[in-house]
Chain A
Amino acid sequence: MQIEQIEILNFLKRYSPFKELPDDLLHQTAMQVDIGYFKAGTPILRFGESLQALHLVRSGAVETYRRNGVLYNRLSEGGIFAEQGLLRDKTVIFPATAIEDSLIYFIPAACFELLYQSDEVFADYVEIGDTQRKKSGVLADKSSNDLMSSEVRQLIGRAVVTLAADATVQQAAQLMQQESVSSLLIVADQSKDAALVGIVTDRDLRNRLIAAGLDYQQKVSVVMTTELVCIEQHQFVFEAMLVMLRHNVHHLPVLEEGKVLGIISIADVIRYESQNSLYIVSSIFRQQTVAELQSLSTELASCFVRMVNEDANSRMIGAAMAVTGRSFKQRLLELAEQQLGPPPVPYCFLALGSMARDEQLIVTDQDNALVLHNDYDPVLHQDYFAALAQFVCDGLALCGYSYCSGDIMATNSQWRQPLRVWQQYFTDWIEKPDAQRLLNSGIFFDLEGVWGQLQWADQLNQQIRRQVKANADFLACMARNAISRTPPLGFFKDFVLENDGQQNNSLDIKRRGTAPLADLVRVHALSIGCAATNTYERLLAVKAAGILPKGRADDLIDALEVIAMVRIRQQAKSLQAGRAADNKVKPEELSAFERKTLKEAFQILSFAQKFLKFRYPGGRQ
């Protein structure tokens, strides 16, 4: 005789992780469910009790607590609880109380274990703290995209062709013809382990030999490029693209432990992935006016959406968007110099904040500044640089990078100063921090040179690393500042649940997620004098330095990815729906899975903030 638990079955079919189960497992589960009614205010689970079942809220609402009585979670229809206890020793870890009259479905422990053992999706869903699950949550339905997931070594077609530096240019050209290659590696001499000294490409022969009218019998060392830009064999193809675009080279030697494995050319990459999301960058440099650049910004939006749909991770997207933003600035500065004439003194244009960290998304303020030569004389040069800054900032605004609401732009004369003034700024901020200076530090201490005298940006970065590392008081102030913005507790029904039980309709995922996380990681990174600006790279350095408890750095890396990807996907969804993208996340637009992974990421962040307070105590008030 067939028992049809129709209502139970239908209910399970509506909620994760049950709705993802195959029919037979789902049916078996429905048959094993028992039910209980709990009046509002009645305890459902008490700490330390033995657990016999996974609990599922059929109707009503339930709160779970930590042992110290602090709210852990609030669940509504479809929410599960007690899974952590079942996964450990089958005793209650988080006590639960009905806060509305509630009907609870009990899924017996044996049934839970069967589902957990036999169904990967189910196991992923219920397993708290497992790093793999958070990643698979972010990259659910991953469909592989070659450009994004292939390593550069896959592009190496043949062994490298080398030539000794004392050969002639003609010999080089003959060798290239004979081997059908467009580049040669130049080595010091004929010996087997000769040192690599340069590279010669088709383009070098054209530009440095033929165009310059040199003799074919010149030594090849005269026309070769000596500053080699290389890439490691395990890096991704998209990273090779970025390196090529950034350094304006078409050939990259691929290294394995310092030895050249082969060379990849831009043609290899294009052949490999003709539909290239990042190709927009090169077209930026072909645009002749600001209006033409502006027309590219819609292509940028569709490029962003395409990358999201191709399941690129947040690092790829952040790096691609940052490279694009950088290219816009570079092209605008070229155009400005064309219009205004060459600069009266050298300068360096700085990108700040998310772009400097390679974490720029589609919705972003322009944070930038100008570092001028120490010979800068306001009387003589002020007009030129004010006009240059105006040109670039207006141009960026037209291209979709809105003006910075905090006026952190090169148009602000305070942020258009000679190098020595910048050095003094930074020293003052670090030696005598106050609220405003700490705020500034959070923005300016992630800086990157975009155009001009890039070595000045390096100098400033070195200064920051040196001075901050030695200053425990400043670190403590930064740490306090970094925990001023906290993540929410999680979600309840269609609300954002705050730690004090308040409910909000939406969440600013930048303010409450990515920004505090970047702030937090910056403090750790500066404390170890880490040179990286990217939050992920900083986390790797922090992990290697061993200043966090074991496993915490990895947790933070996962949390970063989860939060960043939710933000990115929300923006892509808005763009696809024809709306302007922003940082607001509405709980009703998140899947149950996203809510759960996001909530766990928030918990990791929250814990890391507590640790930060503990790690950098004291400091001036």
Chain B
Amino acid sequence: MNGMGQMDKTNHDENTTLEERMKNRDGKGWLILWPLLSVFLGLFSSGMMMLLLGHNPIHVYWDMVNFAFRDIYNIADIFAKATPLILTGLAFGFAFRSTLFNIGAQGQFYMGCVAAVFCALNLKGLPSLIVLVVCLSASVILGGLWGSLVGFAKAKFNANEFLISMMSTYVALAIMNYLLRGPLIEMKGEYPQTDVIPESSWIPSLLPHTRLHWGFIIALLAAFFAYFILWRTTLGFKIRAVGMNRNAARYAGIDSRKIFVIVFLISGGFAGLAGFMEVNGIQHMLVQGFNPLIGAEGIGIAILGNAHPFGIVLSAILFGALKVGGNLVVQTSTIPSSIIGIMEGFVMLFVILSYYIQDRISVSRSKRQLKAKERGGHK
């Protein structure tokens, strides 16, 4: 018996409460309460950290809210920041529905960036719409192919996808850094970065004089696409079946190896698309050390959003607001920017704790029901 397969089996056959929670979405209205409570506790704990530097957390948060919603530019920026986060969140969340761990969204994102910037730089003079469509497709395809290599390794060699996707990020980073230092380097050849891409390849803005661009709409469509695939198609049924119980899926005639490749292809495509959004929508160039945490934040967002596409959209907007407010507070006070990471980390940890508490509550409820039934039986 091959051991890795064994590990996979135990990983999702047994009673892992978080996964069960994440997969059971039998629409209880107050399900939204738990994420909100977790967010509140996460921000509260981060506030305690601010006290260490002698800042009053109430003032800081008040400033943050004021900054984030001060004017239309900042409000639009929340959604601009949320755009790539929705996509990296989907990159993790989509694979998670199949109990696959795509930790490599960061690398797939880099691949998408490289593809987008390469196409944009080499398609000068073509009509804007064509350039944009080519850049978008190229980033999705390259990100997807890079991701599907992980799925392929899993399908063909039964390799641990968690490790491989993790490692593939570092390889992608090396490839991007090499390209930026060599073939893609700016004309001046001074810094490891590309030239600014021609204006025809910029994603048009959605609101004039803000950074919000049409990419946000595309990201929403991508979330809807993920939802549609997962819950409205046979493929999605297979993907979720493989996620629930690989053995049962096999007896139902589903080839889970094919599913592995497809899931990683789609997941990688989402992350690659995030690269297109950041390059063509915001930065208009590619520099070294670009958005180094976007993949990890996607994981946090997917967990907060219950690995559901619509939950991911909402949590990405929340993280976007934290970023916009956080960045402005950081710029205008002496609070270091790492506070944003702390807020995100605390929120994640409290979300996980809330899964535990929810589980306890449901266990004790079913116990009570059982007792009530027994008493009823005795009468």
Is the A/B pair a real complex? no
